[in-house]
């Protein structure tokens, strides 16, 4: 078990780098506490798998250091780092039985056979694999195989961290839910540092205590699921998390005033600095309501999801989505919108202004 | 689902049927015809029943050539399969080396059989051939036209040179299809290089290796042109494999009945070995 620290980590798959786009990840700093459950969330190609492989030692970073318990381990190989990793597709050893598969990482480390037996049975019990221990692993279903992959990661009791690289991609939706709860339960039981990579916000938000959102190789925000929802630090976090995502509208800053579509609006922050190339206002659909005055819009369409209504409207400078109660009356034609001040933020060059 | 009945479609099958009939079924039936009868020409046939089969099965000459054939096939499989896998494992996985290696590897496969035989015949000549001359210059008493051991050595070397590439290409294809995650997982599980080979690479290559072994078994068991051009079956009968012996019997001695019986036995041995081997290899596959 260990605390994981990343310092100024950058990696490029190219030999020479000329622009920011040549870096798969750039300038990543992370502090993860021992025993925590963390998620790396981001769209495909944002660098999250690269980051994970750097932590596990499968990739050597171009710049920066990785520390486990404040000791630099950048030069060590995966075995020396003593980590476990579970991949997107189930990796099993076809010719071995389920038992031998689970015992494999322990046997490679020359652990006595009696100890292996205890350990394997314990893990098999947890993952509900006990009845299939003597079967050939290749005969199992996809989720059974992925459980073996998980089991091989969990079987070693001394690992520094367990890493999951989108482990539920190949699993059926209804089993996904079960396996995810299983993981959460295992985390509470064994209390080891777990790092979970995913592009699925539900998976990240339900699994982790702390979610790290990545965008184009950078960390844009680290926080609890509530933080990410209520106070996105970057417009990307705003529209990547939430369904539908945050509304982002261009705005002008004049002195202390924030002006959207010619109307002055109130936002959460006090504006001190205003020399940005681009200024925007972000507000989640949940925090907008219809009013007698405010931003003038035209109502385009209403879709009822059962729990609530999603209203599409169009303002002078862009579309705005609103989430309204399912029993609320939606005005047709022109209407006015009011943003909730506490949850309305201004962004300068995509980053929150503070 | 209702299938459309269209009897006219059978006309499309006719060309293939005619082709197969002419190149396989009719010649084979002619052989069957000869195998059960005696002829003195002029299309006069006499029924002989299983006499030729008994004669062949009890003939020492057949036993000897069959023995030589199995020995040859086992030796070349024993060399080519491990060697092919070993070469495939060391081949580059990316960059300019990949096409270079693949092209170099395919070269021997593109050379016609009789050319291979002729090439090796000249290459191995004890007085002027590069191989033969060099070996003699190094102090070995090498002469493949007179010494049995040398004839076998040259024939095997020639076959290894000609066909190992096939095993290499198939193994390489099998290796390339393994997902990188398997290697990464093995690295994290602390597997040794040997464990990676036996637990990941070999099982993943099983299907292509089955094909490779089958192809190499069939081809080497039916080998004719190369040893015929290289040694002509000699010295004596030392490298007279089944097909060479068969041609001698059929066209040299004109013993058509026994030769036909031998062809059929030969054919059934190949069929039987392939079937047994394939069934054994695929048995576990169906279970899982």
**Structural domain boundaries of chain B?**
60-251+258-287
pTM: 0.76
- A4-230: CATH topology: Rossmann fold (3.40.50)
Are residues A88 and B200, on separate chains, in Cβ contact within 8 Å?
A: no
CATH code, residues A244-352: 2.40.50.140
Instruction: Report helix, strand or coil for A141.
Output: coil
Residue position matching structure tokens 């000609």: B162
Are residues A77 and B187, on separate chains, in Cβ contact within 8 Å?
A: yes
CA distance A140 to chain B (A): 8
Are residues B203 and A85, on separate chains, in Cβ contact within 8 Å?
A: no
Q: What is the distance between the alpha carbons of residues A78 and A162, in angstroms, rounded to a whole number?
A: 12
Q: What is the mean pLDDT of residues B211-235?
A: 90
Does the CB of A79 have a partner CB in chain B at under 8 Å? yes
Instruction: Give, for all 354 residues of chain A, the pLDDT tens digit.
Output: 678 888 888 888 888 877 777 888 888 888 888 888 888 888 888 888 888 888 888 888 888 888 888 888 887 888 888 888 888 888 888 888 899 999 998 888 888 888 899 888 988 888 888 888 888 888 888 888 888 888 888 888 788 888 888 888 877 787 788 888 888 888 888 778 888 898 888 888 888 888 999 888 888 888 888 888 888 889 988 888 888 889 988 888 887 778 888 788 888 877 766 678 888 888 899 899 888 888 888 888 888 888 888 899 988 888 899 988 888 888 888 888 888 888 888 888 888 887
Which ipTM did the prediction report?
0.73
Are residues A87 and B184, on separate chains, in Cβ contact within 8 Å?
A: yes
Where does chain A hold its CATH 2.40.50.140 domain(s)? Answer: 244-352
- A chain contacts of residue B207, beta-carbon cutoff 8 Å: none
Q: Which of B95, B180, B189 to mutate to test the interface with A (most CBs of A within 10 A)?
A: B189
Inter-chain Cβ pairs, chain A and chain B, closer than 8 A: 55
Long-range CB pairs of B35-39 (<8 Å, 24+ gap) are: B35/B257, B35/B260, B35/B261, B35/B263, B35/B264, B37/B257, B38/B257, B39/B256, B39/B257
Query: Contact at 8 Å (CB) between B132 and B144?
Result: yes
Are residues A95 and B203, on separate chains, in Cβ contact within 8 Å?
A: yes
Residue position matching structure tokens 């620290």: A5
Question: In sequence order, what are the beta bridge partners of A248?
Answer: A282
Nearest by CB: B189 against A104, A138, A139? A104
Are residues A152 and B187, on separate chains, in Cβ contact within 8 Å?
A: no
- A chain contacts of residue B189, beta-carbon cutoff 8 Å: 104-105, 108, 152
Whether the pLDDT of residue B285 is over 70: the answer is: no
Where does chain A hold its CATH 3.40.50.300 domain(s)? Answer: 4-230
Are residues B192 and A78, on separate chains, in Cβ contact within 8 Å?
A: no
Q: Which CATH superfamily is domain B60-251+258-287 in?
A: MetI-like (1.10.3720.10)
- A chain contacts of residue B185, beta-carbon cutoff 8 Å: 85, 87, 91, 149, 152
Interacting residues of B36 by C-beta distance below 8 A, sequence separation 6+? B47, B48, B49, B50, B52
Tell me the DSSP string of A93-115.
Answer: -TTSBHHHHHHHHHHHTT--HHH
């Amino acid at each position: 078990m260990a605390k994981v620290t990343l310092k100024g980590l950058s990696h490029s798959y190219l030999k020479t780098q000329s622009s920011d786009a040549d870096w798969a990840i750039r300038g990543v700093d992370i502090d993860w506490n021992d025993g925590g459950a963390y998620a790396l969330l981001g769209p495909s190609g944002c660098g999250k798998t690269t980051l994970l492989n750097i932590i596990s030692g499968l990739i050597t970073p171009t710049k920066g250091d990785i520390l486990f318990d404040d000791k630099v381990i950048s030069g060590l190989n995966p075995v020396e780092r003593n980590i476990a990793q579970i991949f997107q597709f189930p990796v099993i050893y076809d010719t071995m039985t389920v038992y031998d598969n689970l015992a494999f990482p322990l046997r490679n480390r020359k652990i006595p056979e009696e100890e292996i037996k205890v350990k394997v049975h314990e893990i098999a019990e947890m993952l509900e694999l006990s009845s299939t221990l003597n079967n050939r692993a290749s005969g199992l279903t996809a989720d059974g195989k992925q459980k073996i992959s998980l089991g091989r990661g969990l079987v070693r009791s001394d690992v520094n961290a367990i890493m999951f690289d989108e482990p539920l991609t190949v699993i059926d939706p209804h089993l996904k839910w079960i396996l995810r709860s299983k993981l959460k339960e295992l985390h509470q039981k064994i209390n080891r540092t777990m790092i979970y990579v995913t592009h699925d916000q539900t998976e990240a938000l339900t699994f982790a205590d702390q979610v790290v959102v990545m965008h184009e190789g950078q960390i844009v925000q680290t926080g609890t699921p509530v933080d990410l929802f209520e106070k996105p630090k970057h417009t990307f976090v705003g529209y990547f998390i939430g369904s539908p995502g945050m509304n982002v509208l261009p705005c002008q800053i004049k002195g202390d005033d924030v002006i959207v579509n010619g109307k002055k609006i109130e936002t959460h922050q006090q504006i001190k600095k205003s020399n940005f190339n681009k200024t925007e206002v972000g507000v989640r659909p949940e925090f907008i309501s219809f009013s007698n005055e405010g931003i003038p819009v035209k109502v385009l369409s209403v879709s009822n999801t059962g729990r609530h209504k999603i209203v599409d409207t169009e303002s002078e400078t862009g579309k705005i989505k609103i989430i309204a109660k399912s029993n609320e009356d939606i005005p047709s034609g022109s209407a006015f919108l009011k943003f909730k001040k506490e949850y309305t933020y201004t962004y300068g060059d995509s980053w929150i202004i503070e | 689902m209702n299938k459309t009945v269209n009897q006219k479609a059978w006309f499309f099958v006719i060309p293939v049927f005619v082709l197969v009939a002419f190149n396989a079924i009719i010649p084979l039936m002619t052989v069957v015809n000869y195998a059960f009868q005696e002829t003195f020409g002029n299309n006069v046939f006499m029924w002989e029943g299983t006499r030729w089969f008994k004669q062949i099965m009890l003939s020492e000459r057949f036993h000897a050539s069959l023995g030589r054939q199995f020995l040859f096939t086992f030796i070349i499989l024993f060399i080519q399969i491990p060697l092919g896998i070993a070469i495939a494992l060391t081949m580059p996985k990316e960059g300019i080396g990949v096409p270079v290696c693949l092209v170099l590897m395919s070269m021997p496969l593109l050379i016609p059989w009789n050319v291979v035989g002729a090439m090796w015949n000249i290459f191995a000549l004890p007085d002027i051939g590069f191989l033969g001359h060099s070996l003699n210059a190094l102090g070995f008493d090498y002469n493949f036209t007179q010494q049995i051991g040398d004839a076998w050595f040259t024939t095997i070397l020639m076959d290894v040179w000609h066909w190992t590439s096939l095993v290499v290409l198939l193994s390489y294809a099998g290796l390339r299809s393994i997902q990188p995650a398997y290697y990464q997982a093995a690295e994290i599980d602390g597997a040794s290089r040997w464990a990676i080979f036996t637990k990941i690479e070999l099982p993943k290559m099983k299907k292509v290796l089955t094909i490779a072994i089958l192809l190499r078994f069939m081809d080497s068991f039916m080998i004719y042109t190369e040893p015929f051009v290289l040694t002509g079956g000699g010295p004596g009968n030392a490298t007279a494999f089944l097909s060479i012996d068969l041609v001698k019997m059929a066209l040299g001695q004109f013993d058509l009945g026994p030769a036909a019986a031998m062809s059929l036995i030969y054919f059934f041995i190949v069929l039987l070995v392939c079937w047994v081997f394939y069934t054994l290899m695929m048995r576990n596959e169906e279970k899982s």
